[in-house]
């Protein structure tokens, strides 16, 4: 199938997915570039269609992955169509439309000694994406995204995850509901705190623990802070006042990995 006009009704629907309200309404989102589309294919994500630059043809890397018999619609499109559906100044020659799905946090509550990241009002898309990527890198069991965070299906978040969005559960959730449930299951809720007496290198990360990270400007919300069991200090020997939230998350996640796998 070919679509050359950027005024085509399907193209207008795809382009609308660059805005959150339309992603929510349609239950879909766009991923751009060979790497992300390949990750989605490999993960057998619910892909509606893959659009490629008709002049350049289907990228060979994707042809190899798609040979597994997935039922995906391939559509050759013009450069004008790609430009209309892209969030970047230099669009890549392929994009895909993916259904969101409806992930549930219930499974994360039942994982023995689970390691889960919880985001509370983290608004910067790059930080949200990087934290998801770090969680994937250490083998965490999932990421729970509370209200007030950047949309995990936004183009900047997806680019920052580098495909990790397809590797582990990333679940939008009401923290006021899920965190009390976690505590009832005996899961420890830990987060960074400048007032903490214990530092992250003496804390026991080997049991079931969920790591809480708050907004760049205000930290954890009062409601979430009240539910937190353990405050952790990240030692700093230099003159920096604090760490970026994505860096702080990576420090704690890698300490958890060290304790769990390299101690």
Q: For 149-185, how does the pLDDT look when each residue is reduced to its tens digit (9 = 90+)?
A: 999 999 999 999 999 999 999 999 999 999 999 999 9
Mode of pairing for the β-strands spanning 47-53 and 94-99: antiparallel
Instruction: Say if residue 258's pLDDT is above 60.
Output: yes
Q: What's the whole-model pTM score?
A: 0.94
pLDDT of 246 > 90? The answer is yes
Specify the range with the lowest mean pLDDT, choosing from 63-67, 122-126, 226-230.
Answer: 63-67
Instruction: For residue range 226-235, list pLDDT tens digits in order.
Output: 999 999 999 9
The CATH code of the domain that includes 228 is 3.40.1280.10
Model pLDDT, residue 187? 97
- CATH number for the domain spanning 43: value is 3.30.1330.30
Q: Out of 50, 70, 99, pick the residue that ends a domain.
A: 99
- pLDDT of 230 reads 94
Same-domain pairing of 166 and 147 = yes
* Domain C-terminal end among 49, 73, 99: 99
Helices in the chain by DSSP H: which ranges?
Answer: 9-16, 20-26, 34-42, 60-65, 79-84, 106-109, 125-138, 155-161, 175-184, 222-227, 245-261
Q: What is the share, in percent, of the chain residues with pLDDT greater than 90?
A: 84
* Model pLDDT, residue 69: 60
75 confidence band (pLDDT: 50, 70, 90): very high
Q: Specify whether 20 is located in the same domain as 69.
A: yes
Query: Does 156 share its domain with 222?
Result: yes
Mark which of 69, 99, 129 sits at the end of a domain: 99
**29 membership: H or E segment, kind and range:** strand 28-32
The parent domain of residue 173 ranges over 106-261
Mean pLDDT of 100-111: 92
């Amino acid at each position: 199938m070919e679509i050359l006009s950027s005024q085509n009704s399907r193209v207008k629907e795809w382009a609308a997915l660059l805005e959150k309200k339309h992603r929510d309404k349609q239950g879909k989102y766009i991923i751009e570039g060979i790497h992300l589309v390949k990750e989605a294919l490999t993960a057998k994500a619910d892909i509606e269609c893959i659009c490629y630059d008709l002049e350049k043809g289907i990228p060979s890397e994707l042809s190899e992955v798609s040979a597994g018999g997935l039922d995906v619609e391939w559509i050759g499109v013009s450069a004008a169509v790609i430009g209309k559906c892209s969030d970047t100044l230099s669009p890549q020659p392929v994009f895909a439309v993916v259904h969101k799905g409806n992930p549930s946090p219930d499974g994360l509550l039942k994982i023995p000694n689970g390691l889960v990241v919880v985001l509370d009002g983290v608004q910067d898309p790059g930080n949200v994406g990087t934290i998801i990527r770090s969680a994937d890198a250490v083998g965490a069991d999932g990421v729970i995204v509370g209200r007030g965070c950047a949309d995990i299906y936004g183009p900047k978040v997806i680019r920052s995850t580098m495909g990790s969005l397809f590797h582990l559960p990333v679940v939008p959730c009401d923290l006021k509901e899920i965190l009390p449930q976690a505590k009832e299951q005996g899961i420890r809720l830990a987060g960074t705190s400048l007032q903490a007496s214990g530092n992250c290198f003496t804390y026991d990360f080997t049991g079931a623990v969920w790591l809480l990270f708050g907004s760049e400007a205000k930290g954890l919300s009062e409601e979430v802070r009240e539910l937190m069991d353990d405050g952790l200090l990240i030692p700093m020997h230099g003159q920096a006042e604090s760490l970026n939230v994505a860096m702080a998350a990576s420090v704690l996640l890698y300490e958890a990995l060290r304790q769990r796998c390299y101690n």
